[in-house]
């Protein structure tokens, strides 16, 4: 049976993926120097430019690129342009560290718990309880009651939620809760559950509300007090808020309370109305409130001025038109119509940012596939499971990846693994450390060997 027939009949347990052309093109400079050549000591392609070389201190592939990005909020508190359409600096192979850290934080932060003796280990079906925001010194200006925020992981779904404790509430409206749980809009923080409890130590009856958790999020009041956003970001905020308010008024199910302290900044200039439906849930008379046009107007002015009494700049024209319309009592549909230009700008920026995230996702998938290949290759080499000849050649290939005498280039390792995963017909020369004999083998043949070895490994396990 020839190689081609054997390749067809042998199950492939290693994904035969084809990396993105742009990714391979970015590594072309390294490839040209090694095509069908035999190196003297190491057969890992050597980068031809300083830019292609990975810093020797980089511990793993996911942190290959250390170039900062300019899309996200900086630690100095400045706010970048909304969904900047410009090209974001970042790794050509792997997700940029800024985005990587941001996404990882969403999974790791909910699991970090600071011990709090006043909080039980388990509350109303939640565990891993941690304090997000301590009790306020004064009652909430919106709810009129003291509130505390925790994070907890649901026993049922294993998802992390934000738990809002509102003291002094002994009853809730079941109908209003059921209605609030059906609200579904990208501009609204989803409400998951609410229950009256006495489980908090040293406390009387409290209402515990569970909502979606957004780690590292802040309220607009905290983010923009004395720090007004740029005009394009302000327009983006207003567009999102008006759209969310219009949705709530269209379904006519819950009152709208708009206040900077109840609006979360959850991502790259993404805002969400928080605590939607809570007034109905804690009120003895559901639907006691209506759309808060005054609150929306005051929120816009707060954002434009940074909370100061005197405006520091003229409002952008679309925002000025919205404020004027709200003050004159215009309907929400009319207000939204005044923001057509703003909607177009936001849509363009959002699509650009979606492309950026898609590119980052493809890089993450690419590095994951390389990790899968490397893990299987290493397992075969260490356990030496499979045909003796295949294991020997795969061992030589594994040694060539990491046996460089002048330091390991992660870019070269990534390129070699990508060629292996794609079954590329290009040849590579392999030689043992103390042997003058050279084995010339293609990446396609190496992949077939890995398939055979991994098949035997899987058979032994079963």
**Residue spans per domain, the chain:** 3-64+359-461, 113-212, 218-355
Please say whether the beta carbons of 329 and 342 come within 8 A. no
Residue-wise pLDDT for 305-315, tens only, equals 888 867 677 88
| Partners of 428 in the β-ladder | 441
- Look at the domain 3-64+359-461 and name its fold: Helix Hairpins (1.10.287)
> For the ranges 25-29, 154-158, 189-193, which has the lowest average pLDDT?
25-29
Strand arrangement of the beta sheet that strand 218-219 belongs to: 218-219, 263-265, 271-273
Residue-wise pLDDT for 241-294, tens only, equals 999 988 888 886 666 678 898 999 988 889 999 988 888 787 766 554 455 678
In the prediction, which pLDDT does 229 show?
A: 92
The two tokens of residue 453 are: 């070895």
Q: Which residue has the higher pLDDT, 31 or 240?
A: 240
Using CA atoms, how far apart are residues 299 and 312, in angstroms rounded to an integer?
16
Same fold for the domain at 113-212 and the one at 218-355? yes
| Partners of 230 in the β-ladder | none
**Cβ density class 187-223: b for 16+ within 10 Å, e for less:** bbbbbbbbeeeeebeeeeebbbbbbbbbbebebbbeb
Cα 183 off chain centre by: 23
In the prediction, which pLDDT does 292 show?
A: 67
Residue percentage of the chain with pLDDT more than 90: 14
As a whole number, mean pLDDT of residues 214-232 equals 89
In the prediction, which pLDDT does 342 show?
A: 82
Answer whether 0.75 is exceeded by the pTM. no
Q: What are phi and psi of 336, to 5 degrees?
A: -65, -35
**pLDDT band for position 18 (50/70/90)?**
very low
Using CA atoms, how far apart are residues 261 and 205, in angstroms rounded to an integer?
25
As a whole number, mean pLDDT of residues 213-222 equals 88
42 pLDDT more than 50: no
Q: What are phi and psi of 274, to 5 degrees?
A: -105, 160
In the prediction, which pLDDT does 143 show?
A: 67
Using CA atoms, how far apart are residues 41 and 432, in angstroms rounded to an integer?
9
427 pLDDT more than 70: yes
331 pLDDT more than 90: no
Residue 56: strand, helix, or coil: coil
In the prediction, which pLDDT does 102 show?
A: 75
- Closest C-alpha to 425, from 403, 440, 410, 409: 440
- Let me know how many helices (H) and strands (E) the chain has, helices first: 15, 10
Look up the CATH number of domain 218-355. Answer: 1.10.510.10
Please say whether the beta carbons of 209 and 191 come within 8 A. yes
- CATH architecture of the domain covering 113-212: Orthogonal Bundle (1.10)
* Mean pLDDT of all residues belonging to the chain: 73
The beta strands (E) that lie in 20-90 are given as: none
Q: Which residue has the higher pLDDT, 12 or 272?
A: 272
Number of other CB atoms surrounding residue 444 within 10 Å? 20
DSSP 136-189: PSS--TTTSS-EEEEEEEETTT--EEEEEEEET-----HHHHHHHTT---TTBP
Residue percentage of the chain with pLDDT more than 70: 67
Cα 413 off chain centre by: 27
383 pLDDT more than 80: yes
Query: First vs last Cα of the chain: how many Å apart?
Result: 27
238 pLDDT more than 60: yes
The two tokens of residue 25 are: 């093109």
In the prediction, which pLDDT does 36 show?
A: 36
Please say whether the beta carbons of 152 and 126 come within 8 A. yes
Angle, CA of 86, 90 and 94, to the nearest 5°: 135
| Partners of 209 in the β-ladder | 164, 194
- Return the C-alpha torsion angle 410, 411, 414, 416, nearest 10: -110
In the prediction, which pLDDT does 223 show?
A: 92
In the prediction, which pLDDT does 308 show?
A: 80
Tokens 């979360």, located at residue:
264
- Closest C-alpha to 215, from 145, 277, 149: 149
> What number of CA atoms fall less than 13 Å from residue 406's CA on the CB side?
10
Sequence-ordered alpha helix ranges (H) in 266-311: 278-282, 293-305
């Amino acid at each position: 049976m020839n190689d081609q027939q054997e390749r067809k009949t042998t199950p492939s347990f290693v994904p035969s993926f084809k990396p993105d052309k742009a990714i391979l093109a970015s590594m072309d400079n390294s490839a040209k120097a090694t095509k069908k050549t035999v190196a003297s000591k190491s057969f890992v392609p050597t980068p031809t430019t300083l830019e292609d070389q990975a810093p020797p201190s980089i511990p793993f592939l996911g942190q290959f690129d250390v170039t900062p990005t300019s899309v996200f909020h900086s630690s100095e508190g400045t706010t970048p342009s909304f969904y900047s359409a410009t090209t974001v600096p970042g790794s050509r192979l792997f997700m940029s560290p800024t985005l990587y850290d941001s996404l990882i934080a969403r999974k790791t932060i909910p699991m970090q718990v600071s011990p709090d003796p006043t909080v039980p280990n388990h509350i109303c079906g939640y565990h891993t309880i941690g304090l997000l925001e301590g009790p306020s010194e004064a009652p909430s200006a919106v709810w009129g009651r003291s509130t505390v925020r925790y994070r907890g992981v649901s026993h049922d779904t294993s998802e992390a939620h934000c738990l809002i404790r509102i003291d002094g509430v002994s009853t809730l409206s079941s109908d209003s809760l059921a209605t609030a749980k059906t609200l579904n809009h990208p501009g609204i923080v989803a409400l998951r559950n609410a229950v009256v409890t006495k489980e908090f130590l040293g406390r009387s009856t409290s209402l515990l509300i569970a909502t979606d958790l957004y780690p590292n999020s802040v309220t607009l009041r905290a983010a923009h007090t004395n720090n007004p956003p740029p005009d394009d970001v302000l327009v983006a905020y207003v567009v999102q808020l008006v759209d969310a308010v219009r949705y709530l008024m269209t379904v006519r199910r819950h009152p709208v309370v708009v206040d900077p302290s109840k609006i979360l900044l959850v991502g790259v200039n993404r805002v969400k109305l928080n605590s939607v439906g809570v007034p109905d849930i804690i009120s003895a008379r559901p639907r006691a409130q209506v759309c808060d046009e005054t609150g929306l107007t005051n929120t816009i002015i707060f954002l434009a001025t940074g909370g100061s009494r005197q405006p520091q700049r003229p409002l952008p024209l679309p925002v000025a038109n919205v404020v004027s319309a709200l003050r004159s009592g215009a309907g929400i549909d009319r207000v939204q119509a005044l923001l057509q230009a703003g909607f177009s700008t936001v849509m363009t920026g959002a699509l650009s940012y979606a492309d950026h995230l898609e590119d980052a996702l493809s890089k993450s998938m690419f590095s994951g596939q390389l990790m899968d290949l490397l893990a299987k290759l290493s397992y075969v080499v260490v356990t030496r499971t499979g045909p003796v000849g295949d294991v020997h050649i795969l061992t030589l290939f594994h040694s060539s990846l990491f046996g460089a005498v002048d330091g390991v280039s992660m870019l070269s390792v990534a390129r070699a693994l990508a060629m292996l995963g794609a079954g590329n017909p290009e040849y590579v020369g392999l030689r043992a450390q103390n042997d003058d004999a050279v084995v010339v083998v293609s990446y396609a043949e190496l992949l077939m060997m890995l398939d055979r070895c991994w098949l035997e490994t899987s058979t032994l396990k079963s």
